[in-house]
Structure 1
């Protein structure tokens, strides 16, 4: 019999690629999303498959799934600053109430659960690169705190279930990931730069551009997450690409990639924006025998081709989702 995996946040960027991965590995996939930031077009190609089903549901409400569930991957959360600054309460709720509900479901089903944490738990780090033993340098009450603290609580309650209930848990600390199906106007660096270039706009760099990021192509990220789920390692693990680049250098790469002649303009650095981001993936290499394989040049070319093929309507539209009904506490 096929094993069954429940994937929350399944209509989002990373969640949809995880659906593809588990379908390709011949799992039965139950996809769940409330579609606040997700989009059904990301998983519409799977709807006709016998071993795929979709639940339109908010995991901050009680979660019930009939039948056997072997694995749960909790990826339901706003992940971009534009989103979690618009829906701060929902962001906190999905990291706390949502995680609690899914841990309870995992306990009921005797399922192994992997939760999607983030490099943002490190805050604006004082060590470089960041390893899993670093506790972070965070601002709990800053504008980014709604996301950072939701993820830090998520890790804490997951480890509590692991230690107190003996639940099989896995924690993936995900660093910047990119690829096809990213939302063009979600505020993250790569779609923001590519969108500006394709629209003929100047590229906006915050601060002086000396801050760094490390970008991992989605296929590599998904493979790392998959291996972590099937491993015996219960503590948090960094999954990302350690190839670091400054934002200014990356903006120039985008201009070269797109063949445009835009200028770079500078804006003030947002509050608590981390100045350095680079994962130490020693544990992933040793325990999972995993490291990224797709070069930034190859990954960015694939990503650019995806965005280049969007319609003009998609390219020029701004984010218009109505978050108001979800922003209640």
Structure 2
């Protein structure tokens, strides 16, 4: 059945891929974005589609629309962007959640929260299951994002308990793919852009820290699987690829796939940067019947093809 679906942050990396998939599935999409990190280029191909509507709006202000479901993705997600205006980052997570939850309550609409693996902070438990409460520095340079997202989860569950709201909370682990912002400072886009330009590839720390990289198509499939569960499934549910790689391995793979002559250089590790990040996805596997299917090399090839078109 066709629904009218609101996607906040819909012109961003993940949001634009979600809009594509929802329209493909026959839904009408209202894409809301203030274009702080989102880009019209990401959704330009949808602008003439009768099922797609674009609205410039900041979720820290209330929104008065009529929809059946809400995906709340609005928030800068890379350290460079969320540390640029940390107060606004916290407002986007907290006020944005309050405004979208208020809208969902008025409409009796199901609402999805794009939370993050950053709620686990620099974890002492590895891999991270949903039951782990995390180890987050509340006054560090990353806390505007980490604590903002933790507070958003609090609000979602309090609205669920207090008002019976139908909520779905996904904790997203490192995701990559086409439409990543070339200057977002995230490791996959950084390495690809540096390698394409023949620049030195910058590794912060000694490169032994690990990440688990999920290709965007797999992640969006996880979003929809979670959104389509019955009301008893609220999450939080980890969505990410459990295959773990060191940052050094990623750099070597990017250099090899591009055939670049870039050298690897090492810089000091930024504050509060987690040393390990790997999802335990047992819950997604059993509750959603979801596992990622696209391996890192395969996904990197598609991502490199995208960056080859936009990097000068």
TM-score range, shorter chain: over 0.9
For residues 106 and 49 of structure 2, what CA distance do their matches in structure 1 show? 27
Q: TM-score, normalised on structure 1?
A: 0.93
In structure 2, stretches of 5+ residues that fail to align are none
For residues 173 and 9 of structure 1, what CA distance do their matches in structure 2 show? 16
For residues 310 and 132 of structure 2, what CA distance do their matches in structure 1 show? 40
Aligned CA RMSD, in angstroms, stands at 0.8
Number of corresponding residues: 310
Aligned partner of 1:320 in structure 2 is none
Aligned partner of 1:56 in structure 2 is 56
Q: TM-score, normalised on structure 2?
A: 0.98
Runs of 4+ in 1 over 2 A off after TM superposition: none
1:235 deviation in Å? 2.5
Is the contact between residue 193 and residue 311 of structure 2 (CA under 8 Å) also seen in structure 1?
no
Q: Does 1:71 pair with 2:101? A: no
Is the contact between residue 60 and residue 95 of structure 2 (CA under 8 Å) also seen in structure 1?
yes
Residues 96-124 of structure 1 deviation map (CA, whole Å, 9 limit, x = unaligned) = 11110000000011100000000000000
The 5 A counterparts of 1:310-321 are 310-312=310-312
Of 74, 81, 97, the residue aligned with 2:95 is 97
In structure 1, stretches of 5+ residues that fail to align are 313-329
For residues 167 and 260 of structure 2, what CA distance do their matches in structure 1 show? 46
Q: Does 1:283 pair with 2:304? A: no
For residues 311 and 258 of structure 1, what CA distance do their matches in structure 2 show? 13
Q: 1:278 to 1:194 in 2, by over 3 A?
A: same
Aligned partner of 1:137 in structure 2 is 135
Aligned partner of 2:6 in structure 1 is 6
The 5 A counterparts of 1:140-151 are 140-151=138-149
Is the contact between residue 253 and residue 297 of structure 2 (CA under 8 Å) also seen in structure 1?
no
Of 184, 193, 196, the residue aligned with 1:195 is 193
Is the contact between residue 196 and residue 311 of structure 2 (CA under 8 Å) also seen in structure 1?
no
1:262 deviation in Å? 1.3
For residues 138 and 111 of structure 2, what CA distance do their matches in structure 1 show? 26
Q: Does 1:167 pair with 2:134? A: no
1:311 deviation in Å? 5.0
For residues 262 and 49 of structure 2, what CA distance do their matches in structure 1 show? 44
Which secondary structure state, in structure 2, belongs to the residue aligned with residue 41 of structure 1? helix
Aligned partner of 2:292 in structure 1 is 292
Which secondary structure state, in structure 2, belongs to the residue aligned with residue 89 of structure 1? helix
